[in-house]
Structure 1
């Protein structure tokens, strides 16, 4: 088949100090069964040996490589989207892995569905050594197909999509102005922005990516997650559900931080009016009083 008749997919990998993982990530894109791919790789000011490794890989595989001073992920993605030639865009973590059929599966689904701005899928979890985590720790493998609109995402009414599986229709990204550089929790913001603009997000039941768990995963940084979740939800404060959603997040973050970051937990608790207390608030209080900070 002539690949030029297929939609062009641009994969954007922005890497920062991921020399340990980046080669495996890039090769997982190179080895896709879908071959009409534009691969843009940006080193965003790494201080490890990423630049040397990326330069070596670029000579072997011929992808587009840009070395720059650190700009942050949102700005880097926006600039890459502006120069991307693909009709579909995949921002991909520099520590994750695409399964070989990933792009083939997503393109086969999304191509004739203009109402779908985001196509995603399920994923498996791996460790720092690329080994699958035990079956009991796999959380995103068997979730069935779901179509989400803005309220589904905002209110967390259905299982959402994982960043490691997201494919965007480029016109949807452009319609919302891309990523917000002031918000560093990129995936949640862009899913809300695109569904708020009227597109659907369809999540396929297929396992299409491997998400790597390691000590520096963003979601483990609780102050970062709390601050940027607040900023994200504030962008949609015109929603009648804004306060409900914000307080639900605050209660969840309070519970998570109560035994891990007591100062953060106390700060969050002050922001939760008594009328929004629930079982998580009570459990968090017990942890705050009786547990030791790890």
Structure 2
């Protein structure tokens, strides 16, 4: 699907689909329902084993958007290949289980006009469950601008992945996504802000983030491995050790009750000088779990 309106910048929306059969139609439908008039939609199925391809094909036959089926290559490589085929100056990578609100693209394009320093524009989200029911009112967050230090040191509320809009120029300047890092959103924000661009996050809710059983953030081992790999790409930063320790402390607290092996690994990796309340709470949860297991 491509609009013929050439007065507005072309936005290329890329949906990389992988085993999200129950959600993919809502995701694609939300792009097709955008009020913005100049959109190119590219959908790539990255080796799904469910009925995603059949569902997408039905929609593609009706609406005529670009659709490609491929063997599994991973999200970062799929995004790089899709960006190379896309024609827009503005690029949106959108989850095959999430939903855009109708005004999303229009608001972001209008905001980015005349702001070449903004490499990424984002917005706020509302969480929904697997059935599409709201999980509660979204957080009220004001418009904010993030530079590299803000993102690396986590000094301000971050940019939700379902709302990211990239300036193509910024993506090309940093060489796109790294296929070796599978948690692509944090890595690309750090790369783009280190290159001198800003991430501006609008106050408006732009997307519905679907919380379900297979969300990436629930895979603690995956999160630990890929976030630490991401931070390692910026190990020359003076706060690198502290940032890694802070992240390990946070993940230790999250996984201490559900993945004791990972929690113990994280605990051993945290230097004593970075121990704090989270470390002690995590340790207590590990010990608590050990007692209950006897």
State the TM-score, normalized to the length of structure 2.
0.96
Q: What's 1:62 paired with?
A: 64
| 3-state SS of 1:158 partner | coil
Superposed, 1:184-223 pairs within 5 Å as 184-223=182-221
User: What residue number does 1:183 align with?
Assistant: 181
Task: Tell me which residue corresponds to 1:281.
Answer: 279
What is the CA–CA distance in structure 2 between the aligned matches of 1:209 and 1:54, rounded to whole Å? 21
Matches within 5 A, 1:1-294: 3-135=5-137, 138=138, 141-291=139-289
1:129 counterpart SS class: coil
SS of the equivalent of 2:31 reads helix
Q: Give the match's secondary structure for 1:5.
A: coil
> Partners in 1 of 2:172 and 2:261 — Cα distance?
40
**How far apart, CA to CA, are the structure 1 residues paired with 2:78 and 2:37?**
24
Q: For residue 154 of structure 1, report the CA deviation from its aligned partner.
A: 0.3
Tell me by how many angstroms 1:3 deviates.
2.2
3-state DSSP class of the match of 1:89?
strand
**1:83: how far off?**
1.0
**Structure 2 CA distance for aligned equivalents of residues 3 and 64 of structure 1:** 18
Paired residues, number: 288
Separation of aligned partners in 2, 1:199 and 1:78 = 20
Structure 1, gaps ≥5 residues long: none
Q: Secondary structure at the match of 1:23?
A: helix
Measured after TM superposition, the shift of residue 134 of structure 1 is 2.7
For 2:253 and 2:134, the matched residues in 1 are separated by 28
- Report if the CA contact (8 A) 2:43-2:67 is conserved: yes
The 2-side partners of 1:134 and 1:38 are apart by: 32
Shift of 1:249: 0.4
DSSP 3-state at the match of 1:215? coil
CA distance in 2, matches of 1:144, 1:185: 26
Would you say the 8 A contact 2:13–2:40 is kept in 1? yes
**Structure 2: unaligned runs, 5 residues or longer:** none
Paired residue secondary structure (1:239): coil
Runs of 4+ in 1 over 2 A off after TM superposition: none
User: 3-state SS of the aligned residue for 1:26?
Assistant: helix
Looking at structure 2, the residues matched to 254 and 47 of structure 1 have their Cα atoms a distance apart, in angstroms, of 33
Distance 1:14 1:111 in 2: 27
User: Alpha carbon RMSD of aligned pairs, Å?
Assistant: 1.0
Output one character per residue of 1:58-90: Cα deviation in whole Å (capped at 9) or x when no partner. Answer: 000100000000000000000001111000000
Counterparts of 1:267 and 1:282, CA distance in 2:
15
Query: Residue 16 of structure 2 contacts residue 78 of structure 2 at CA under 8 Å; is this kept in 1?
Result: yes
TM-score using structure 1 length: 0.96
Give 1:257 deviation, angstroms. 1.2
